[in-house]
Amino acid sequence: MPERSTRKVAKPKTWTVTVNGKTHKVEVRRKPWLAIGEVKVDGNMVAYFAAKAMSITIFNYRQQPFEIDGTWFSVVIKPNFLGYNFDLTRDGEVLPPDE
């Protein structure tokens, strides 16, 4: 019987956004074993960002911009003592995440 991996996979943070009358799902996930984070829109990779210890300081948030149908969004990467938290902004406004 094959051995099962016990590695915990980080749950993505998601948002549902509407652009030009179309609904899109934005997903942000950190992959700590690769020291990267990824941004997906409708299941398609749109951006990567560094997500390793000390790459983002606690006083200097990083932003990763990306575009959906001509509208610019930005993932704000905010480190905390347990890892990272993410916000999604459009035109500087923080959007509420999905539950």
Q: Which of 51, 99, 38 is nearest to 78 (CA)?
A: 51
Where does the pLDDT of residue 39 fall: very low under 50, low under 70, confident under 90, or very high at 90 and above?
Answer: very high
Where does the pLDDT of residue 5 fall: very low under 50, low under 70, confident under 90, or very high at 90 and above?
Answer: very low
pLDDT at res. 9:
52
| C-beta neighbour count of 20 within 10 angstroms | 9
pLDDT at res. 87:
94
pTM: 0.79
* Tens-place pLDDT, residues 67-87: 999 999 999 988 776 677 899
Question: Which range is least confidently modeled, 13-22, 37-46, 76-85?
Answer: 76-85
Go through the domains of the chain in sequence order and give each one's CATH number. Answer: 13-95 (2.40.128.180)
Q: What is the mean pLDDT of the chain?
A: 83
pLDDT at res. 2:
54
CA–CA separation, 66 and 49 (whole Å): 11
Is residue 28 over pLDDT 50? yes
